[in-house]
Amino acid sequence: MTGASRGIGRAIATKLAEEGARVVINYNSSSKEAEDLQRQIAEEGGESITYKADVSNSKDVGGLVDATMRKFGRVDILVNNAGIVFRKKILEATEEDWDRTMDVNLKSVFLCCKAVAPIMIGQKRGKIVNVSSISGVNGPPSAVEIPDYTASKAGVIGLTRALAVDLAPMVNVNVVCPGAVETDMLATMTEQARTARIAETPLRRFGRPEEIAAAVLFLASDDSDFVTGETLVVSGGRPVM
């Protein structure tokens, strides 16, 4: 899975390993965190490898998939979780901000799905779970205040729907849209912004990474075999406000 070393990605990798999956921990810069997670999984009786790759780069993605096949011989689940955000509104954002956001948040999903699709089709089975955001759906104004991030996350939802049709019936493709979750990304917000987001959330708290991981686990498991092209919002009710 991509972006696996920290935050939501780490929780997803941990949950999948707990359920018996052999996990590929992709990271780009957080090598220490990735190695710590690998040790944690091993201590709990699981199996994993780490692999450094910029998943917005097709060559790196190819290396990631090749390493996975050499080690495990198959790819049953792909979780696309890598993501970045530049907290700038349109007048402050640069072309470079836009390009990098699209590359990491959206292009990486395309590249990783394209790389594993032939493998999953050959196996006649596979689960792809993409991680978007309520920024990509009908969220409140505060969820769509960063134009490049919002556009990239909406793109992930559209791509998921297209791939669900394109890769059926062999591969299920779904998307999870978290609301505000206690991660390093959320920690960059001001206290005023944090308070406003809690006020918008009917459950009156932030989500926990483990709660997003539980949703991903469902979509990666046999329990979701008749689910594809769906958007699962996990946000404490925030989009309905």
Which residues are marked as active site?
149
**Helix (H), strand (E) at residue 173:** strand 171-178
**Cis bond leading into 141, ω under 30°?**
no
C-beta separation of 110 from 131 below 8 A: no
Distances (CA, A) of 233 to 42, 104, 139: 31, 21, 10
Q: Which of 2, 151, 5, 6 is nearest to 85 (CA)?
A: 151
Q: Are 168 and 228 in contact (CB under 8 A)?
A: yes
Contacts of 171 (CB under 8 A, 6+ apart): 117, 120, 121, 125, 126, 127, 128, 163
Beta-bridge mates of residue 75: none
Cα–Cα separations (whole angstroms), residue 110 to 61, 71, 77, 116, 128: 11, 23, 15, 10, 11
